[in-house]
Chain A
Amino acid sequence: MTASIEKPRDLAGGLVVMTIGAGFLLSGWELDPGTSLRMGPGYFPTILSILMIVLGGVITALALRRPFGEGAFGRLPWRGLGLIIGASLLFGLTLRGLGLGPVLLLVVLASAWASRYASLRASLALSVGLAGFCAFLFIQLLGLPLPLTGPWLSAGYWSQAVAATASAITR
């Protein structure tokens, strides 16, 4: 459609769009479309899903008509992608267990490593500073209902768990 269309990238883009459309169409298959007078929960989503598939199809078709371009993707920065998405997943998984302070230390340290200019000393300093600042801001000033350190960090939590496992094994 415009000069911005490049073959491999738009081929992939069109296919992704079609897949998303098909995914919505399939998972919304059971929703009642109703009638055009009294539209059910499935009416509008179905129209949109079909529209999505059509749009994806057009993008794909236009991409196929273009001569082959190269290197449209560039390299995927796997390290950055993994570290940054991993860091936010880690935050979600361990927040309640570790508490805000320790989690932020880990998250900032991990995500800082995604930069090619990262150095251990700077990252450590940054994570300690940020963890302290955020803990103060969010827990002290804004009163977020979060523990500074979580139950996983207290000795009692683990000794109880160990005791429970031990008794389970011996029984």
Chain B
Amino acid sequence: MARPAVILVGADKGGVGKTTVARTLIDYFGAHQTPTRAFDTEAPRGTLKRFHPELTEVVDVTSVSDQMKIFDTLGSADAKVTVIDVRAGLLSSTLQALTDIGFLESAKKGQITFAVFHILGSSIASLQEIAETARVVGDANYFLVKNFINNTTFFEWDPATYNSYFKKIKGAEEITIPKLNEMAYEQVEVASVPFVSFIGNKGTKGEAANNSFVLRGYVRHWLGNVWGEFDRVKLVDLVSPKIESNVRQVAG
């Protein structure tokens, strides 16, 4: 049995697009035939659940019963990868809770693969957050995600400041989510389907949809670039080291 993987997608500010990133991750693992489940912490009505209703459950990470629901099932669930979309403002406290229940300890021992996708906002406040979370996370696989999806003039702050925070986390990697055309993004929102379904011109129940070919093209191109970033940081290898080593044996 492969070791379960938990990916925390969080930001300490709302509106930086963390749910969008979580959606691209779910689509990415889907494309790699990696069974995935997701938890949406935006109780009571999660955005992530709207796009991926079949594999998403809405939870409250601060409640013990929901923590059990997520972490006690890691070994037994069919899904290899668990994506948790952490509501704005809860990243630090979630990480603290993970420390308290000994989860981070298991991650350190290598029983669980743990990764954090930290979605960056444009203000310095969210950078201070890096320092705080870095303290808790330690050597988890830490990804700093610059999300340009809705904005082109995003990172206007001083690179020196940014680097000083960035360097606080050993081995942190940067991921850039490129801009997606506004109208294309909006249409996916309206359709309420995963990005891959929109590209494949499918509706919420897999029925044929009537999406613009141009918009589908833009989304396909964009998603390809996002996945290119995930490929670059070897995300699949990270969550499925076993499969990867098999591939290597076959290739060797």
Partners in one complex: no
Residues on A close to B: CB < 8 A? none
Binding site for A on B (CB under 8 A): none
